[in-house]
Amino acid sequence: MDDALLSIENLTVTYDTLAGPVTAVDDLSLAIGPGRAVGLVGESGSGKSTVAGAVLDLLAPGAAIDGGRIRFEGTDLASHDRATRRALLGRRIGSVFQDPFTSLNPAIQVGDQIAEPMMVHLGVGASEARAMTLERLDEMGFARPAEIAGAYPHQLSGGMKQRALIAAALACEPKLIILDEPTTALDVTIEAQIIDLLERLRTEKGLSYLFISHNLGVVRRVCEEVYVLYAGRLMERADTDALFDRPSHPYTRGLLASLPRLQPPHRVKRLSTIPGELPDLLAPPPGCIFEARCPFSAEGCDRPQTIRVAGVRQMTRCHRHAEIAGEAWPSRARLGHDFSRKGFGDALVNVVGLKKRFRMGGLFAGIKLKPGLPPRIVNAPPVVKAVAGIDLVIRPGEVVGLVGESGSGKSTLGRLLLRLEDPTEGAVEYDGLAIERLPQRALRPFRKEAQIVFQNADSSLNPRKTVGETLRRPLALFGIVPARERAKRVGDLLEMVRLPRAYATRYPHQLSGGEKQRVAIARALATEPKFIVCDEPVSALDVSVQAAVVNLLADLRDELGLSYLFISHDLAVVAQLSDRIAVMYRGTFAETGTADQVLSPPFHPYTLVLLASAPRVDGSAMPDRSALLRDAAPGAGAPDGDGCPFFARCPSRIEGTCDELPPPRRTPAKGHAIACHLKLDALPTRFVPAAPAMGAAPGAVASAGPE
Amino acid sequence: MAEASVDLEAAPIAPRRRARRRPLPSSLVAGGLVFAAIILVAIFAPLIAPYPFDEMHIRDRFHAPSLTYLAGTDEYGRDVFSRMIYGARLSLFMGVLATLVSLVIGVPLGLLSGYMRGAVDEAVMRILDIMMAFPPIMLVLLIITLTEPSLWKTSVAVGFLFVPAIARLMRSVCLDLAGEEYVLAARARGEGASYILLREILPNAWPPIIVEGSLRVTFAILLAAVLSFLGFGIQPPAADWGLMIAQARGYIERAPWIVLAPGLAMCVTVVAVNLFGDGLREYLDPRMSARRG
Amino acid sequence: MIAYAAQRLVFVVFILVAMSLLVFAAIYALPGNTAAIMLGQFATPDSLAAMEAKMGLNDNFFVQYWRWASAFATGDLGQSMVMERPVAPILWDAMAKSTILAAASLFFVAVIGIVLGVVAAVRRGRPIDGAIAIFTYLGISVPEFFWGIVLILVFASWFDLLPTMGYASLSDGIGPFLAHLVLPVVTLTLTLIAHVSRMTRSSMLEVLQSNYVRAARARGLPERRVLRHHALRNGLLPSITVLAQDFGWLIGSIVVIETVFAYPGVGRLLIFAIQRQDIPVVLAVILVITAVYALANLAADLMYAYLNPRIRYGRSVG
């Protein structure tokens, strides 16, 4: 441990909260050797970001280091005064934070923000710093570094911002970089790009990483060893392969088991889950902190415990790790009723040629002044095409998954189906009733049948209403049950979403995130709907909670025969639940088909990019995807005219065709549609190229070129 | 459903999350107590004041503060302390009335503008822009030039002056809340605009209204004092703080207490209300309560 | 940026026209018309009619408005009824004197207010923050005329240091000129400083807690540099808007302060005119002040846009 670049010894950090002191990090020890990539994994509330704050001397007000030492290159950081420590950290340790959108100073040119630490720490002059800045930006893969250096942050996309921030972190050539959820705020294709960049930089420069993340797939790809944190305590430490293949701690097993995998769904299978929730950190249990949620817990687990050796370079904090070594996390293979075997019948929702354009800005936004003498005023209303021509059928009992990156228009489409937005063009039929132009009053029967569940558990419930009041309102509004039976029905609804009846008297702030989302589902169910739009319903939830909510939605579909439009940016979650999948890009469907058809070849080039970008935990060979991820700024350089919206980012684009003409609809099989200029036999067919060592991987895609 | 009880996902009854009982900020308590005391004084002025506000003691003109006249007497021998107490009535009346006027007009305007968006929003905002393009006090002076001054008119004019600020605040609060998912959920079940505005949005919008309203009371008190001082507000012989200061200006060297006493009263009132408002803001600010360990 | 400036300018012109219409309509609708006021209570109906005809008061609203507005635009601001002189020279003279007051106070308000706000934000929770808070509380808790009177009491009556009334022109010597300005400017500054410093404090606090300041600290930049180079640029941007807003209140305060200190500026002129129902003067003063205010806001908006790269450089690169 002595040769470690950074070593954290018995670190304890407490927060002073109004309710009392909370131990956010409890007796954590961690070491990062030169050139190593170390992952720090945990769900929200695990204290993983607090560790970064403690190392970088950037703890939030009210937080204090209560014990332990942090040594960098052998020297205790606490032995320096504050200014020296900060200068040392800034020069020798780079840092990249979660939110690239707010981490660059909006008032300073990007290049100056990268050059600044060089001038302060290395004492170089302005012109030399500028040259070094351009060099850094070039290393980040920017095609025109000078243009980026002269830009202000708002002129860059999210991925470009994060690359610029990595350049700033590397400004003084540090040996260690602390990455705190560096890709969490980014789309999956951008994430893949950043991850590839980080991997390349590490090998080229011999960097060490402390990689903090909740995303196990990303950690598996980047890190060599992993620390798993739960409720502020280290649960397990192991080399990456060992951790993912032979997890010794039940919590690690639970996390891995509850992750949805990227594979076609099974109507009757469910995800494994970790029941319960994080313990109250104001009064943590004296023994194992995971005991209450652990399926392997037995007598004696409430004894105080320490971390102990569990294998080769593997340590675990579990009393029973030896006894349970071979046992898998209990899976929940619940046998549901399989509708799909019988087929789905006629369309419940039928969408034809749906379009939605938004006009941006206020009254004067559409008026532009054309320079010249005299200046001319031209009318150029800025219009965003959120949905640009969609055809879609959803049948009774069917789940249609809708995948897309941010800005693809997937939420707008969901809202159009419910007439929460008025369409600009096209028709939406529900159960034979054309709803796209009906006045709100005439929509009442439709409103009862079609409901919505949203993403954000915190904003989905009115904080001033109890759960009971929230659930009673739809019952009263539609006269679902007589007034005297409403209290009972509220209880029934709570049970339907696996919550205790007593929760009716609680306020939203007394619920956890997963519980809130269950109440939101119960509210949607209260009107006895047939169709529910689920708009990213699990995106804001931790892995262990997410699995339970996905299962609940699957159960309800089977019990009540519901249809869903299931919207998500996460292909794996969508694959878990959907009978059919639609892949959306900039307002149009790139590919539609059954889940099997979409997840297996032939692919639309964009589907392929998505699949290659998705982080995976199963340890299958990591594809070299660099050839796929070209120019991955969302929407960059998309043609304004009729061309394919994916043109600018497409690895197989045909210049002169794809940017001019709308892509034709290819149908490789019944029910499978791909909007692409590539002929059927030219469509890419594989997304996992042969072992990367073969070196031929990129060619697999490139050769799938035009004609 | 029977197997739900053995379901791994069935949530056990989790302990109720601790209600975040945060201590009241000291500024809220101190300001609130003083403010409450001033309100009581204003209501019970006739019982508390040692003399009627307009009773002249000709022999005791310019009497320095003493046990008989706690804050001395003015040029007509009227008890300054009693006039101070009665002055609280007028000041609070004007402050509260003006604020009510601005809330009654501004809150619905802001709500509508924020929720309806589109043409309604544009129209309302442009009208507010025009109102705000007047330097604040000019609008009131214009109204007063054209009509006879009176207590009511002054208060209403001051209230009008605050409408744009209140409406804009309300609009931005409403815009924020209208994007909340529980509001979208209400729209998805076909609730009307009135239900959404009154039952979903307004109950969550009142904290900023209360805070802004309490601060507006102080502005109104000060502005009303200014108008009285300039002679466009309450007319003599009423016991108004601003008017008292204006009338006593000439005697400032001879009897400074006639000016200082009402000034002090105003200062205490406004500081108390300001503290109250700031404390309330601190207490109700969601960012403060969202801070977690 | 140019388009933005043009939009704002169009709006200012629109505001001025709207304002003049409003003001003129108010006078037009007034029960006793100007002729009646000019002739006083002993006017006979005949003389009244003659006067009305002479002044064109029988023409319709728009004709009258057009006549008045076009004269106004060419610098003929009308005739004072009380002083029986053209309004323009009186108004411009008073404006010049008020401008001195306004410029000096605005300067001190901006400098001292922003410094206090920044210090309070940086030293948040320390004694100096508390001291500044108390000082600013006092500033906004008492109307400006009270401070004026107290200052007169202390510096003029008790210590006999400074003149309390009137104005001395530069030709009377720089000493008396400045001496007459001290008390009014100090009073105005005291009143307005509170708002500026509180707003600056809160915007600075927000910036100091922002991710990019955190990132700058993580890069090991010295705190002083983080503050100067990263925080101030963004934290002071809103102060421009606050100062523009406060300029409106400054105008109001100047009216009051000029009355307290018998300073012969535009505020005193306005009060004088209102008290004597000298309608043309009131109209002219209010319109000119509104125009100044609208232009000041325009200037602040443009400055804000110029200093804010988001507005200045719109397009994206890459």
Residue C161 lies in a domain: yes
Q: Which residues of C touch A58 (CB under 8 A)?
A: 214, 217-218
- A597/B contact by beta carbon, under 8 A: no
CA distance C290 to chain B (A): 6
Q: What is the pLDDT of residues A563-608, one digit of tens each?
A: 999 999 998 899 888 999 999 998 999 999 998 899 888 899 999 8
Closest residue in chain C to residue A364, using alpha carbons only:
C7
Interface contact A498-B1, CB threshold 8 A = no
Interface with chain B: mutation pick from C81, C141, C192, highest number of B CBs within 10 Å: C141
Is the same domain home to C186 and C229? Answer: yes
pLDDT of residue B218 exceeding 50, the answer is yes
Q: Which of A452-456, A465-469, A680-684, B149-153 bottoms out in mean pLDDT, i.e. has the lowest?
A: B149-153
Binary contact (A116, C229; C-beta < 8 A): yes
Question: Shortest Cα distance from A160 to chain C (angstroms)?
Answer: 9
The verdict on residue C176 lying in a domain is: yes
Which tens digit of pLDDT belongs to each residue from B267-285?
889 889 888 888 887 777 6
Partner-chain contact C220 A168, CB within 8 Å? no
Q: Which residues of C touch B226 (CB under 8 A)?
A: 143-145, 252, 256
| pLDDT at C314 (0 to 100) | 58
Q: In terms of pTM, does the model score above 0.95?
A: no
Q: What is the mean pLDDT of residues C275-295?
A: 84
Give the pLDDT confidence of A32-51 residue by residue, as tens digits. 999 999 999 998 888 899 99
Does any CB of chain C come closer than 8 Å to the CB of residue B135?
Answer: yes
Q: How many CB pairs under 8 A join A and B?
A: 119
- More confident site: C20 or A118: A118
Peptide bond between residue A286 and the one before it cis (omega within 30 degrees of 0): no
Whether residue C19 lies inside any domain: the answer is yes
Q: Does C210 touch chain A (CB under 8 A)?
A: yes
- Residue among B136, B246, B271 whose CB faces C137 most closely: B271
Candidate from B13, B187, B203 with C-beta closest to A464 = B203
CB contact under 8 A, B4 and A498: yes
Count of domains observed in chain C: 2
Residue A692: predicted pLDDT: 33
Q: What is the pLDDT of residue B88?
A: 86
In chain A, residues with a C-beta closer than 8 Å to the C-beta of B11 are 275-276, 498-500, 514-515, 518
Q: Do C210 and C262 have their domain in common?
A: yes
pLDDT band at B12 (very low <50, low <70, confident <90, very high): low
Q: Compute the average pLDDT of residues A435-457.
A: 90
pLDDT surpasses 60 at A696: no
Residues C66, C179: one domain?
no
For range B187-214, the mean pLDDT: 88
Could you tell me the residue ranges of all domains in chain B? 26-43+68-292
Q: Do C23 and B142 touch (CB under 8 A)?
A: yes
Which pLDDT score is estimated for B280?
Answer: 84
Q: Is the pLDDT of residue A635 over 70?
A: no
Q: Distance from A588 to chain C by nearest Cα, in Å?
A: 24
Instruction: List pLDDT tens digits, range C207-237.
Output: 998 999 999 999 999 999 999 999 998 888 8
CB pairs < 8 Å spanning B and C = 114
The confidence band for A640, taking pLDDT boundaries of 50, 70 and 90, is low
Which residues of chain A have a CB within 8 Å of the CB of B122? 362-363
pLDDT of residue A703: 33
Confidence band (pLDDT; 50, 70, 90) for B69?
Answer: confident
For residue C237, which residues of chain A lie inside 8 Å, CB to CB?
Answer: 107
pLDDT of residue A345: 76
- C163 and C287 together in one domain: yes
Instruction: For B20-54, write each residue's pLDDT tens digit.
Output: 556 788 888 988 999 999 989 888 888 887 878 77
Asked if B189 lies within 8 A of A277 by C-beta distance, the reply is no
Choose from A341-345, A485-489, B227-231 the range with maximum mean pLDDT.
A485-489
* Boundary of a domain, candidates C73, C108, C130: C73
pLDDT single digits (tens) C10-34: 888 887 888 788 777 876 766 555 5
Residue of B nearest to A25 (CA): B293
Beta bridge partners of A22: A15
Q: Residue B189 is nearest to which of A474, A496, A500, comparing CB atoms?
A: A474
Shared domain for C6 and C131, answered yes or no, is no
Mean residue pLDDT across chain A: 85
Residues C9 and C137 in one domain: no
**What is the four-CA torsion angle of B208, B214, B219, B221, rounded to 10 degrees?**
160
Q: Do B9 and A500 touch (CB under 8 A)?
A: no
Q: Do B135 and C137 touch (CB under 8 A)?
A: no
Residues from chain C contacting residue A123 (CB–CB below 8 Å):
none
What does the H/E/C string look like for B22-39? CCCCHHHHHHHHHHHHHH
Which among A19, A330, A477 is the nearest to B18, CB-wise? A19
pLDDT over 90 (residue A562):
yes
Report, as an integer, the average pLDDT of A335-339. Answer: 53
How much of chain A, in percent, has pLDDT values that exceed 70? 88
Q: Within this chain, do residues C108 and C66 fall inside the same structural domain, yes or no?
A: no
pLDDT at B281: 79
Q: Which residues of chain C have a CB within 8 Å of the CB of B249?
A: 149, 260
Contact flag A108-C229 (C-beta cutoff 8 Å): yes
Are C203 and C133 in the same domain? yes
Kindly identify which residue of chain A lies nearest to residue C315, measuring between CA atoms: A155
Type of residue numbered C218? A
Mean pLDDT of chain B: 80
pLDDT of residue C42: 63
Subunit contact B145:C256, Cβ cutoff 8 A: no
Interface membership of A454 toward B (CB under 8 Å): yes
Closest chain A residue to the Cα of B176, Cα to Cα: A459
Report if residue C196 sits inside a domain.
yes
Confidence of residue B120 (pLDDT cuts 50, 70, 90): confident
Q: Are B1 and A495 in contact (CB under 8 A)?
A: yes
Q: Between chains, do C233 and A105 touch, taking CB under 8 Å as contact?
A: yes
* Chain B nearest C-alpha distance from A331 (Å): 9
Predicted-complex ipTM score = 0.82
Same domain? For C203 and C271 the reply is yes
Predicted confidence band of residue C146 (pLDDT cuts 50, 70, 90): confident
Q: Is the pLDDT reported for residue A690 higher than 50? A: no
Which residues of chain B make contact with C275, given a CB cutoff of 8 A?
Answer: 231
Residue A41: the pLDDT is 95
Instruction: Return phi, psi of residue A528, to 5°.
Output: 55, 60
Query: What is d(CA C85, CA C77) in angstroms, rounded to the nearest whole number?
Result: 11
Contact B184, A412 (CB under 8 A): no
Question: Predicted confidence band at A338 (pLDDT cuts at 50, 70, 90)?
Answer: low
pLDDT at A249: 93
pLDDT at C161: 75
Q: Which residues of C touch A97 (CB under 8 A)?
A: 211, 214-215, 218
What pLDDT was estimated at residue A392? 94
Tokens encoding C147: 């401070």
Residue A16 to residue A301: CA distance in whole angstroms: 29
CB contact (8 A) between residue A120 and residue C309: no
In which order are the strands placed within the sheet that holds A208-213? A93-96, A176-180, A208-213, A37-41, A225-230, A233-239, A314-316, A308-311
**What residue in A sits closest to B290 (Cα-Cα)?**
A509
- Domain of C253 in residue numbering reads as 94-315
Q: Is C234 on the interface with A (CB under 8 A)?
A: yes
A109-121: average pLDDT: 94
Q: Which chains touch A (3 or more CB pairs under 8 A)?
A: B, C
Average pLDDT of every residue of chain C:
83
Indicate if C53 and C102 belong to the same structural domain: no
More confident residue, B128 or A619: B128
Q: Nearest-CA residue of chain C relative to A54? A: C218
The label of the residue with tokens 């070094």 reads A132
**pLDDT grade, residue C303 (50/70/90)?**
confident
- Of B10, B16, B291, nearest to A506 by CB-CB distance is B16
State mean pLDDT over C82-110: 89
CATH 3.90.1520.10 is held by the domain B26-43+68-292: no
Within-domain flag for C244: yes
How confident is the model over A408-433, as pLDDT tens digits? Answer: 899 999 999 999 989 999 999 999 89
Q: Per-residue pLDDT averaged across B257-272, rounded? A: 87
User: Chain B contacts of C294, Cβ < 8 Å?
Assistant: 133
Asked if A106 and C309 come within 8 Å (Cβ–Cβ), the reply is: yes
Neighboring chain C residues of B137 at a CB cutoff of 8 Å? 249, 251-252, 255
pLDDT score recorded for residue A2: 56
A698, pLDDT greater than 70: no
Domain-embedded: residue C290:
yes
Q: What is the CATH number of the domain that holds C218?
A: 1.10.3720.10
User: Is C29 contained in some domain?
Assistant: yes
Which of A683-687, B42-46, C96-100, C279-283 is the least confident region? A683-687
Q: Which amino acid is at A245?
A: D
- pLDDT score of B293: 26
**From C6, C219, C234, residue closest to A369, measured CB to CB:** C6
Place C194 in a pLDDT band, splitting at 50, 70 and 90.
confident
Q: Which of A124-138, A152-166, C25-39 has the lowest mean pLDDT?
A: C25-39
CB contact under 8 A, A58 and C217: yes
The answer, for A527 touching chain B at a CB cutoff of 8 Å, is yes
Q: How far apart are CA A386 and CA A375, in angstroms?
A: 32
- Give domain status of residue C305, yes or no: yes
Query: Touching check for C219 and chain A: CB below 8 Å?
Result: yes
Are C155 and C243 part of one and the same domain?
Answer: yes
Which chains border B (3 or more CB–CB pairs < 8 Å)? A, C
Identify whether residues C138 and C264 lie together within a single domain: yes
pLDDT band at A150 (very low <50, low <70, confident <90, very high): very high
